Amino acid sequence: MNTFDPDALECLAAIVEEGGFERAAVRLSITQSAVSQRLRSLEAQVGTVLIVRSRPLKATSAGQLLLKHTKQMRLLRADLERDLKDLAPSSSGAREEERVSIAINADSIATWALDALGPLVRQGLPLEIITDDQDFTQEWLREGQVLGCVTTLKQALRGCKVMPLGAMNYIAIGAHSMPAIDGFDLKNGLSAHNFRYLPFVAFNRKDDMQSEFIAKAFGLKRVALRQLFVPSSEAQVRAVCEGWGVSVVPQLLAQPLIDAGQVINLLPAFSLPVQLYWHCWNLESEVLDGLTQALTTHAQKRLA
């Protein structure tokens, strides 16, 4: 079996993670020509193209396999750094390219996940959090770009393990600052007849939470909504407070504002539970075990 140059593997990872050769060169503190040379050498060794020169750049299937291998090597080095730190506390910290990457949906980041990860980061874990819709975070794991993810998908990928985290409850909220809309009275809340008049603030075009909530709340098969897009969980709530429209958001995020009278639960008799799962590579690793323990333990305290 071929032994791959660690510098060339990290070069491949930098190109994919940074989205280009120039930024990869800056990150690795080498010239752009050296980045290209390392990639060509690795492609020659593997015998196939590893990067598709598209916009944005993408790894080929072979490139994704090597990227996953690189992430696994990082994890081993992170374990070693952790062990060495115990033996020699004055040892230097991890390098930039030693980052441990995981993918988490924005709503979890905004509500419970940062509290879970905080102790690990303060202990020196070189963490990178990648955010995406909760139905799509698993793709980052499938492509080998992260070592774990929080997702709504239950089925484990090959070579990975999965653990349930709990359910995040979603509710519909509105604010008194919303302009008067014919056919809708904030005091009467949402109904199967008036939701069509309202603008809904969604996260982005991947976000189907708004339509799923309405469909399940009122037993509808198809739902068409007027939507605005604000790609931040906290900013969605802020947009509601400023009268942009209504939104379906995590109850964990909205409840303090409801208690303070800033927003209203528009359908108090209904909430939509969304089950979350933690997926990660099935490897023996103290770093990975620590991440898993932190996320599952904290989720059990905060999620339904």
Give pLDDT, residue 86. Answer: 60
Residue 282 has pLDDT above 70, yes or no: yes
The pair phi, psi for residue 210, each rounded to 5°, is -60, -50
pTM of the model: 0.77
Give pLDDT, residue 46. Answer: 87
pLDDT tens-place string over residues 127-159: 999 999 888 899 999 888 888 999 999 999 888
Q: How far is it, in rounded angstroms, from Cα 254 to Cα 190?
A: 17
The pair phi, psi for residue 16, each rounded to 5°, is -70, -45
Q: Which of 13-22, 208-217, 218-227, 243-252 has the lowest mean pLDDT?
A: 13-22
Residue 200 has pLDDT above 90, yes or no: yes
Q: Which fold has domain 168-273?
A: D-Maltodextrin-Binding Protein; domain 2 (3.40.190)
CB 110 within 8 A of CB 233: yes
Helices and strands in the chain: count of H runs, count of E runs: 11, 11
Please return the burial class of 53, using the count of CB atoms within 10 Å of its CB with bins 0-12, 13-18 and 19+. exposed
Q: How far is it, in rounded angstroms, from Cα 185 to Cα 165?
A: 37
Please return the burial class of 297, using the count of CB atoms within 10 Å of its CB with bins 0-12, 13-18 and 19+. exposed
The runs of H, that is alpha helices, within 88-189 are 106-108, 114-122, 137-142
The residues spanned by each domain of the chain are 168-273
For residue 44, the tally of other CB atoms under 10 A from its CB is 9
E-state strands within the chain: 51-52, 58-59, 100-105, 127-132, 148-151, 160-174, 199-202, 226-229, 247-250, 264-265, 272-281
pLDDT tens-place string over residues 80-117: 776 666 655 544 454 555 688 999 999 999 999 999 99
